[in-house]
């Protein structure tokens, strides 16, 4: 039996259907001998926790709740808890709404990561296809901001935790994890760049041949009372269309994917 190459870290919080789809899709398209999977449940206490306890090929960490902890803090601390257990050359972080769709996904990512010894991480900024009209609107806004002498709302791009793979040794070298009281992965990205390493962004159109991110699915399918944007019917309909394109009903119906011998 070969040694695992990659540890995959997935935080979970109250997303039973998505968690099942995420893990079963991963199982369907991956040789389990090549990976270790650590799922950190953030005290969900729901059907997703019960489901995770039944999956034979994952390592489950049940993380207790911390009073006053925000969602982003909970997510980042879960990543760091699992990161401490990583003993493979590479590790990957992903969300429960990140779905593997292609058998070649792991080779694709590893080959990009090892293309240069200076590359410490690869992944995505926003794993979505932006329409030409949206790109035009962003460019138009930037142009007028400059014309009026206003500062551009330029975002600091970093590998997002919905899909990012890292060299374990490089991350250990900088001694920075995911928790930083801002957004998971931002400080780690900047620390690796400061240390002289390269961080490689894969274009969404290329990465989406292998992995799909159901953008905002966790918030849409489990909306918060004050979250108007993701509670809209149009947002839910978008996610439902994407789920249909992934043939999710067939995957969710296949209980054998939870067992070691599927």
pLDDT at residue 222 in the model: 56
Confidence check: pLDDT of 167 > 80: yes
- List the domain range (segments joined by +) for residue 26: 6-125+158-214+248-258
Note whether 174 and 192 are within 8 A (CB).
Answer: yes
Flag whether 75 is in a domain: yes
Tokens of 181: 């009281």
Mean pLDDT confidence for 77-84: 97
Cα–Cα distance, 38 to 7 (Å, whole number): 7
Mean pLDDT confidence for 44-66: 96
DSSP letters spanning 158-185: ---TTEEEEEHHHHHHHT--S-SSSSTT
Confidence check: pLDDT of 60 > 80: yes
* Token pair 């590479």 in the structure block, residue: 90
Flag whether 104 is in a domain: yes
Q: What is the CATH number of the domain that holds 36?
A: 3.90.550.10
Residue 12 binned pLDDT confidence (cut-offs 50, 70, 90): very high
Flag whether 119 is in a domain: yes
Flag whether 140 is in a domain: no
Confidence check: pLDDT of 142 > 90: no
Flag whether 28 is in a domain: yes
Residue 111 binned pLDDT confidence (cut-offs 50, 70, 90): very high
Flag whether 236 is in a domain: no
Q: What are phi and psi of 74, to 5 degrees?
A: -60, -45
CA 1 to chain centre: 28
Enclosing H/E stretch for 257: none
Closest by Cα among 31, 32, 10 to 21: 10
Mean pLDDT confidence for 214-232: 59
- pLDDT 10s digits, 227-259: 555 556 776 777 788 888 888 899 999 999 999
pLDDT at residue 214 in the model: 87
Number of structural domains found in the chain:
1
Flag whether 138 is in a domain: no
Flag whether 176 is in a domain: yes
């Amino acid at each position: 039996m070969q040694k695992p190459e990659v540890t995959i870290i997935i935080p979970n919080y109250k997303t039973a259907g998505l968690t099942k789809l995420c893990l079963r899709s991963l199982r369907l398209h991956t040789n389990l001998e090549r990976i270790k999977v650590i799922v950190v449940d953030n005290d969900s206490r729901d059907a997703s926790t019960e489901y995770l306890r039944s999956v034979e090929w994952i390592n489950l960490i049940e993380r207790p709740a911390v009073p006053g902890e925000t969602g982003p803090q909970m997510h980042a601390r879960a990543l760091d808890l699992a990161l401490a257990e990583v003993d493979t050359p590479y590790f990957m972080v992903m969300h429960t709404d990140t779905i593997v769709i292609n058998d070649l996904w792991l080779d694709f990512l590893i080959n990009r990561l090892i293309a240069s010894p200076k590359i410490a991480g690869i992944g995505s900024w926003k794993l979505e296809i932006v329409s030409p009209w949206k790109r035009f609107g962003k460019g138009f806004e930037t142009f007028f901001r400059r014309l009026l002498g206003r500062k551009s709302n330029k975002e600091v791009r970093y590998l997002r935790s919905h899909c990012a793979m890292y060299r374990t040794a490089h991350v250990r070298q900088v001694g920075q994890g995911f928790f930083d009281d801002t957004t998971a992965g931002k400080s780690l990205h900047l620390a690796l760049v400061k240390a002289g390493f390269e961080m490689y962004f894969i274009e969404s159109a290329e990465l989406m041949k292998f992995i799909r991110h159901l953008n905002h699915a966790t918030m849409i399918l489990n909306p918060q009372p004050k979250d108007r944007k993701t509670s809209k019917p149009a947002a839910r309909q978008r996610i439902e269309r994407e789920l249909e394109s992934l043939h999710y009903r067939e995957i969710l119906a296949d209980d054998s994917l939870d067992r070691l011998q599927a």
